[in-house]
């Protein structure tokens, strides 16, 4: 987290685990390698509670800027941590999310080659910008104006295909998968289905990140009620469209801190109301096996 502030990783994880247990939900915990080495018992608790352990780099560094020597260190450090996770949980991690999502390109061939060589099967680094982020109330002239937007109008804003294409113009123009800019535009407007890249299943971001909705609050800091209400509204709206809510992402230090754990509750409650089964990638392997067998779009 970008704060020099007290933070109890274990207590925060326990708060999150308690809420997941209350709703019978399974999650993927992307763990930084150094954290796994420091808190092996926490990794054991997470796994024994039925959750999937993914890796989130080793030092939470910007892997997009790594030189050849640093990539070599990453390769060796990851191998060591993967062996530790296997010893603790009985299985190797198969999912990876890069720190900072490998921005600004959200992909780097050298990193994906390392992941493929280590046996990873899926990644989730492709950022999507969503129109709902334009309504973030602390970034518009009237901080509470989003509340006055009629439901029909807000739906038109948040679900506008034209606005989605505009916000992701860089993705459409500069990415390399789907064969062409037109192919990527069609992919974007079709709901951004997972695709194969370098033999790995790439699962895009299907809802705004919590930091895109709330900023980067310190763990002990409460979020202003109007901003928290906006984030709750935005995430419940995402869950109300199951095809667009294949994955919702939280940072532990954001949702476990201040008054923000309600965001996790909201997502889990809304999922239950929609009849969705909240589970992990490893817990639902059929579609992943089909995807990695080459039946989906490649990039």
Which residues in 139-249 belong to E strands, given as ranges? 195-197, 200-202
Query: How far is CA 50 from each of CA 19, 66, 89, 227, rounded to the nearest angstrom?
Result: 13, 34, 10, 32
> Do 79 and 105 touch, CB atoms closer than 8 A?
no
In a domain, 259, yes or no: yes
Count of other CB atoms within 10 angstroms of residue 108: 17
Written as six digits, the tokens of 212 are 């895109």
> Do 196 and 289 touch, CB atoms closer than 8 A?
no
Instruction: Please provide residue 28's backbone torsions phi and psi, each rounded to the nearest 5 degrees.
Output: -100, 125
Instruction: Please provide residue 226's backbone torsions phi and psi, each rounded to the nearest 5 degrees.
Output: -70, -35
pTM for the whole structure? 0.89
Q: What is the full per-residue pLDDT of the chain (299 aa) written as tens digits?
A: 788 888 899 999 999 999 999 999 999 999 999 999 999 999 999 999 999 999 999 999 999 999 999 999 999 999 999 999 999 999 999 999 999 999 999 999 999 999 999 999 999 999 999 998 988 888 876 555 556 555 555 556 667 889 999 999 999 999 999 999 999 999 999 989 899 999 899 999 999 999 999 999 999 999 999 899 999 988 988 888 766 667 899 999 999 999 999 999 999 998 888 888 787 776 665 666 666 565 456 66
CATH number of 194's domain: 3.20.20.370
CA distance 28 to 139: 31
> Cα Rg for the chain, rounded, in angstroms?
19
Q: Which residue has the tokens 């916000």?
A: 167
In a domain, 276, yes or no: yes
Nearest partner of 232 among 164, 148, 132, 142, judged by Cα = 132
Provide the pLDDT for residue 137: 85
Provide the pLDDT for residue 275: 82
Nearest partner of 263 among 223, 235, 225, 291, judged by Cα = 235
In a domain, 296, yes or no: no
In a domain, 297, yes or no: no
Which residue intervals of 49-180 are DSSP H helices? 68-89, 109-117, 151-158, 161-167, 169-174
Provide the pLDDT for residue 266: 93
Domain count, the chain: 1
Which residues constitute the domain of residue 49?
9-291
In a domain, 154, yes or no: yes
User: Distance of alpha carbon 294 from its chain centroid, rounded?
Assistant: 24
Provide the pLDDT for residue 295: 47
In a domain, 84, yes or no: yes
Provide the pLDDT for residue 262: 96
In a domain, 3, yes or no: no
Which residues, listed in sequence order, are joined to residue 31 by a DSSP beta bridge?
55
Provide the pLDDT for residue 22: 96
In a domain, 36, yes or no: yes
User: Distance of alpha carbon 258 from its chain centroid, rounded?
Assistant: 21
298 secondary structure, DSSP code: B
CA distance 146 to 87: 49
């Amino acid at each position: 987290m970008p704060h020099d502030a007290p933070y109890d990783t274990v207590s925060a994880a326990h708060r999150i685990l308690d809420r997941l247990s209350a709703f019978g939900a399974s999650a993927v915990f992307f763990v930084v390698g150094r954290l796994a080495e420091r808190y092996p018992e926490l990794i054991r608790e997470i796994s024994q509670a039925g959750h999937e352990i993914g890796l989130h780099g080793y030092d939470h560094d910007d892997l997009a800027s790594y030189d050849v020597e640093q990539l070599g260190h990453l390769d060796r450090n990851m191998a060591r941590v993967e062996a530790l996770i296997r010893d603790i949980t009985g299985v190797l991690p198969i999912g990876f999310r890069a720190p900072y999502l490998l921005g600004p390109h959200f992909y780097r061939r050298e990193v994906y080659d390392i992941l493929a060589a280590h046996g990873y099967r899926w990644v989730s680094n492709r950022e999507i910008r969503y129109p709902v982020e334009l309504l973030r109330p602390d970034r518009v002239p009237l901080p509470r104006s989003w509340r006055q937007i009629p439901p029909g109008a807000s739906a038109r804003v948040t679900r506008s295909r034209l606005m989605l294409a505009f916000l992701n113009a860089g993705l459409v123009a500069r990415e390399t998968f789907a064969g062409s800019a037109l192919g990527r535009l069609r992919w974007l407007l079709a709901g951004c289905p997972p695709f194969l890249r370098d033999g790995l299943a790439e699962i895009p971001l299907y809802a705004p990140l919590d930091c895109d909705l709330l900023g980067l609050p310190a763990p002990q800091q409460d979020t202003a009620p109007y901003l928290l209400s906006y984030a709750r509204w935005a995430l419940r709206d995402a869950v109300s469209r199951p095809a667009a809510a294949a994955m919702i992402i939280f940072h532990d230090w954001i949702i476990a801190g201040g008054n923000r754990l309600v965001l996790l509750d909201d997502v889990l409650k809304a999922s239950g109301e929609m009849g969705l089964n909240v589970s992990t990638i490893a817990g639902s392997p059929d579609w992943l096996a089909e995807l990695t067998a080459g039946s989906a779009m490649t990039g």
